[in-house]
Amino acid sequence: MRFTERLRTGAKVYSFEFYPPKTDEDTARLFTAAVELKKLGPDFVSVTNSSSGVAPYRTVALCGVLKAQLGLEVVAHLTCLAHTRAEIAEICDGLRKMGIDNILALRGDPHNVAPGGLRRDYSYASQLTADLKRLGGFALGGACYPEKHPEAPSLEADIARLKEKVDAGAEYLITQLFFDNSHYFNFLDKAAAAGISVPVLPGLMPLTGYRQMQNFTKMMRVEVPAALRGGIERWDGDKDGMFKFSVDYASRQARELLERGAPGLHLYTLNRSRAAMEILRNVRGAAAR
């Protein structure tokens, strides 16, 4: 089933994101988390991949297992920098055979592609989206960046590139994580002014430590508001205090987003369930009151 059908009804959509495990320990943690999160009835789970040539095949395999064994609706991430058009078609054939008909089309990070691994067939996610649209049979989504992609010269330039992706066939968008909701609403206004009208699912993840906060601000170039930074610094070293503070902060973010019209929530799990479960329970509990 294409989860975009639920989006069209106006019902709130809730989803979780996983990444393919690399070790036996990671695998056990992932499936423990997936079993727990399934109890919350997510509309879909997504499975990431890196930009390397082999990663999509691991993603396809994990998607198939999550769907076949757990009955979860799955969105497969698919990057294109390290693949030819023929390889993309082959990957899509594998997804179809597993009953996966939702794809998040991505360019991928060129820094993660092994030397000599870059292919010339694709330069942008919009090109991959157009090819997937021609192949047919998939509900297509794309990524977006409320604070702009790190490589973009400006948010306006980034949105212009995003419009190409939507025009090529992206039916919904999922945001990079952010910690200040004003970025999301400002992005929506500018995207609408550029003619982008597809649903935009906000991506959220609680920060769990000072080092993680430093990594996100350095790699993803997202703003960490003073209130969040202060709490992370205060609770650093106190695992329980840090967890409660981070979940409470993300839950407040989530409630405001939903109250102001966001079509749902996409929660980045890092293959763990506890924080995502608490956030979604907090949100649903508030909605029921």
Whether residue 227 lies inside any domain: the answer is no
Question: In this model, does residue 111 exceed pLDDT 90?
Answer: no
Q: State mean pLDDT over 102-131.
A: 84
Which band of pLDDT confidence, cut at 50, 70 and 90, is reported for residue 126? very high
**20 has a pLDDT exceeding 80:** yes
Q: Is 76 within a domain?
A: yes
Q: What pTM value is reported for the model?
A: 0.94
User: For residue 231, is it within any domain?
Assistant: no
Count of structural domains within the chain = 1
Question: What is d(CA 44, CA 103) in angstroms, rounded to the nearest whole number?
Answer: 11
pLDDT tens digits for range 209-228: 777 777 777 777 899 999 99
Percent of the chain with pLDDT over 90: 73
Q: Is 223 a catalytic residue?
A: no
pLDDT tens-digit series, residues 56-86: 678 889 999 999 999 999 999 999 888 899 9
Q: How far apart are the C-alpha atoms of 210 and 227, rounded to whole Å?
A: 14
Residue 10 lies in a domain: yes
Mean pLDDT of the chain: 91
Per the structure, the complete domain to which residue 153 belongs is given by: 4-208+263-273
280 lies in some domain: no
What gap in Å lies between CA 272 and CA 198, rounded to an integer?
29
Q: Of 5, 17, 147, 171, which is the active-site residue?
A: 17
Q: Write out pLDDT tens, residues 187-197.
A: 999 999 999 99
Cα–Cα dist 106/145, whole Å:
13
**CATH no. for residue 153?**
3.20.20.220
> pLDDT tier at 113 (50, 70, 90 boundaries)?
low
